[in-house]
């Protein structure tokens, strides 16, 4: 039996590599940083190695509108599991609907464009009406008077 998978045409199937996100790790303090840095942000060393990220992380926040360019996708701050953050879009959801704390995985990484998608099981499809659902706010309580204080 041939262990190599074959395409329907009979030719050997070539497995396409997924997108890769390269980052830099300091040889001295092991801190991770974005690939554009020339010095370690923790210890200041210039002795940095390039490594490939696993591509999984957590959404920290949506950038304010003042930090976005016109016509750009909604950029989020994503903290990668390796210990560094990137600004990236999250695809496959309604704009601005990804909550902080959602797990994401790398979808696209080509040059300056970095995009993530929600990890399986994080959120279902987002319905427009669910964005406007009412919810209780933790620090606000309705004003209810005890029965003894009402009529006296």
Q: What is the pLDDT of residues 48-59, one digit of tens each?
A: 999 999 999 999
5 contacts 13 by C-beta, under 8 angstroms: yes
Which residues constitute the domain of residue 106? 22-122
How many separate domains does the chain show?
Answer: 1
CATH number reported for the structural domain that contains residue 42 in this entry: 2.40.50
Give dist(CA 135, CA 147) in Å, integer: 27
Whether residue 102 lies inside any domain: the answer is yes
Q: Is there a domain that residue 139 lies in?
A: no
Q: Is the pTM of this model over 0.75?
A: no
Residue 83 domain-assigned (yes or no): yes
Secondary structure of 2-48 in HEC code, one letter for each residue: CCCCECCCCCECCCCCCCCCEEEEECCCCCEECCCCCCCCCCCCCCE
1 within some domain = no
Pair of tokens at residue 32: 């991770």
Q: How many of the other CB atoms lie within 10 Å of CB of 81?
A: 13
Is 91 inside any structural domain? yes
Question: What does the pLDDT average to over 88-101?
Answer: 85
**Residue 15 domain-assigned (yes or no):** no
Residue 13 lies in a domain: no
Report yes or no on 82 lying in a domain. Answer: yes
| pLDDT tier for residue 93 given thresholds of 50, 70 and 90 | confident
Residues 30-53 pLDDT 10s: 999 988 889 999 999 999 999 999
pLDDT average, residue stretch 117-124: 76
Confidence band of 104 (pLDDT split at 50, 70, 90): very high
Question: Six-digit token pair at 98?
Answer: 């990804």
């Amino acid at each position: 039996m041939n262990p190599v998978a074959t395409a329907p045409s009979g030719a050997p199937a070539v497995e396409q590599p997924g997108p890769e996100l390269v980052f830099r790790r300091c040889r001295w303090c092991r801190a991770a940083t974005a690939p554009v840095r020339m010095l370690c942000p923790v210890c200041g060393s210039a002795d940095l190695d390039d490594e490939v990220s696993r591509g999984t992380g957590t959404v920290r926040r949506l950038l304010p509108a003042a930090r976005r360019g016109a016509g750009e996708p909604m950029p989020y701050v994503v903290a990668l599991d390796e210990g560094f953050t990137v600004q990236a879009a999250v695809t496959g959801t309604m704009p601005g609907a990804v909550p902080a704390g959602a797990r994401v995985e790398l979808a696209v990484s080509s040059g300056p464009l970095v995009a993530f998608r929600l990890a399986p099981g994080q959120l279902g499809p987002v319905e427009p009406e669910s964005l406007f659902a009412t919810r209780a706010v933790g620090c606000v309580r309705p004003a209810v008077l005890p029965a003894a204080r009402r009529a006296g």
